[in-house]
A and B are shown apart, each in its own frame.
Chain A
Amino acid sequence: MSVTPTASPSRPADPTQAADLEAVRRAISTTARPAPASPLSSVLTFSWRAMLKIKHVPEQLLDVTITPVMFVLMFTYLFGGAVAGSTAAYLDYILPGILVMSVLFTTVYSGVGLNTDLTRGVVDRFRSLPIWRSAPLLGPMLGDSVRYVLAGVVIIVLGVALGYRPEAGIGGVVAALALVVVFSFGLSWVFTTLGLLMRTPMAVMNAGFMALFPLTFLSNVFVDPATLPAPLEAFVDVNPISILATAARGLMEGTAVGGDIAVVLAVALGLTLVFLPITTHLYRRG
């Protein structure tokens, strides 16, 4: 007879087998403790976890494929005529820009995913393991890069279907996508930091999009800044997203400027150097 709360009798019993206590005891007594996993091996194990999550819930990739398609169609056909005179001309201008925008918006999901983890108990276990402390943060980058590349490929395929023909051919397109992905890795640490500071995954998503929308619209992704009022134009010109869009356009058209690419890489490195340690510190602190 017990004083602990008992489940109502209507609840179905656990359908599975019971634990085999003899086997449990054998299992406990048999293992020797192996040397802890190396940093590389733990990062790869966390990457494997990220890939399993995509495998089990492939629907999560819908977000990163449907949104870019909407962006391309909406901007090309809604604004194309008004902004650039014809949809075909605008497509040439905007496609690399939308590539940048779509992939950058995908970086917010890094923070959302981390925050989702935190709302569950599993992070406590990871943090109690004798592993390299940055491994749980670096591992998911592989899963993230799948999202980035997927979002990018969807844009490019759709663009080509609509008549976009990059001058620099497939090599230029791959180079542009690679540059955008590298920048996204840097930016994603901003959102993982946010993911560790905010209370719910939804809040992270909202904050992330609220930060990215103005930054993207105040860039040269959609319009040539020459038509803007001077102070705005000055901001647009130094906005890293403008520089990234210009570099991506250049790579796809075969007119890339080395300086732009260098600036993009430097900003990505800078974001990583600042926000990766902050993320690691916050994750460790719990």
Chain B
Amino acid sequence: MASQAHLAIEATGLVKRFGETSAVDGVDLAVHPGTVYGVLGPNGAGKTTTIRMLATLIRPDEGTARVLGHDVVTEAAAVRASVSLTGQLASVDEDLTGRENLILLGRLLGLKRQDAKNRATELLEAFGLSEASGRLVKHFSGGMRRRLDIAASIVVTPQLMFLDEPTTGLDPRSRNQVWEIVRALVAEGTTILLCTQYLEEADQLAGRIAVIDHGRVIAEGTPSQLKASVGSGSLHVRLMNPEQRPEAERLLEHALGTVVLEADPAALSATCAGGDDATLALSRLSSSGVRVADFSLGQPTLDEVFLALTGHPADAPDDGSTSLQEEHAV
């Protein structure tokens, strides 16, 4: 395969403007074949616009991109012949059944009628959708719809798959299923460009991550490099009795460091490097008689990542994030 020798995706200086807004403002990407590459960013960062340029749906205003060795503008047909797109809005036809959707795509991709039907049956079974296969997609649950969407993307196995926020809005169980499917795809050698708003998702699936904000890449690296640059996660604690919060605050500050009081009068959180520190802090609380209703140990949220990388929360106006790119590149 020619693409093995090259990068699967190679983008330089991609720019896309919509009127006054620069949705994508100079994005460079280098994705190796057979890997998952995560594009992490908040709402409006330019993730979907980037994918749409790479999938040949819109033309870049500036810059160039090659996908599997083909230029996305001058060789768009060749790109289309070897990629598939699972868009942010489910890219399946809501007014058809699950089976009809898969047969439709099989036929459009050149399968013979019977082959398309067999392939639909195979995929519906593999994706746990055979019971619902005769139901209109508009009556599918979010998780089923996403699975069908991914199944539709592999009716004919693509070399490269674009996945735009595949788990946004899914419950944890459906989300885990999607993750497992993505892992299975990669294990079979498919290259995946994954857009997401969740650091955890990028961390779980991607070999490398680009963090984008206001259409620019503000950090790039492996998940561990990124997390190291961002710092630790945090321990969230909710107390049985809000009156004990001042005491809990004092204890956690002592055990862990910076403590944030949350809006819930019984809740507070503290930055925390790992599970051991958290266990220690929780046992301090309990030995001092502070009763804990529940707790969770979280990785840094996207907000915390952004705060660390840009000095402003994800949704705040752009103030000098570009100048921080060098300092914070990981």
Contacts and interface: CB of A to CB of B under 8 A. Distances in A.
A130 B184 contact: no
Contact of A17 (B55, B109, B130, B167): B130
Interface string B172-200: 11110100110011011010000000111
A16 B129 contact: yes
A16 B122 CA distance: 16
Contact of B96 (A11, A30, A56, A131): A56
Q: How big is the B interface, by class? A: 35 or more
A128 B55 contact: yes
B131 A17 contact: yes
A129 interface: yes
Given A2-B298, A16-B144, A56 B136 contact: yes
Contacts of A36: 81, 109-110
B55 A20 contact: no
Contacts of A285: 58
Interface stretch (A47-55, A214-222, A249-257): A47-55
Interface stretch (B17-25, B152-160, B245-253, B319-327): B152-160
B83 A37 contact: no
A286 B58 contact: yes
B261 interface: no
A129 B181 contact: no
A120 B94 contact: yes
Interface in A140-156: none
B199 A3 contact: yes
B131 A16 contact: yes
Contact of A19 (B84, B97, B119, B147): B147
Given A7-B172, A28-B185, A31-B119, A52 B96 contact: yes
B107 A41 contact: yes
26 contacts: A2-B200, A3-B298, A3-B300, A13-B171, A14-B143, A16-B141, A19-B127, A19-B128, A19-B181, A20-B125, A20-B127, A25-B184, A26-B126, A27-B122, A28-B157, A29-B188, A31-B156, A33-B157, A34-B112, A35-B110, A45-B104, A124-B52, A125-B91, A129-B109, A130-B77, A286-B57
Interface of A: 1-4, 6-7, 11, 13-21, 23-31, 33-37, 41-42, 45, 48-49, 52-53, 56-57, 120-122, 124-131, 135, 285-286
Interface of B: 52, 55-58, 77, 80-85, 87-97, 100, 104-105, 107-112, 115, 119, 122-123, 125-132, 136, 141, 143-144, 147, 152, 154, 156-157, 167, 170-175, 177, 180-181, 184-185, 187-188, 190, 198-201, 233, 296-301
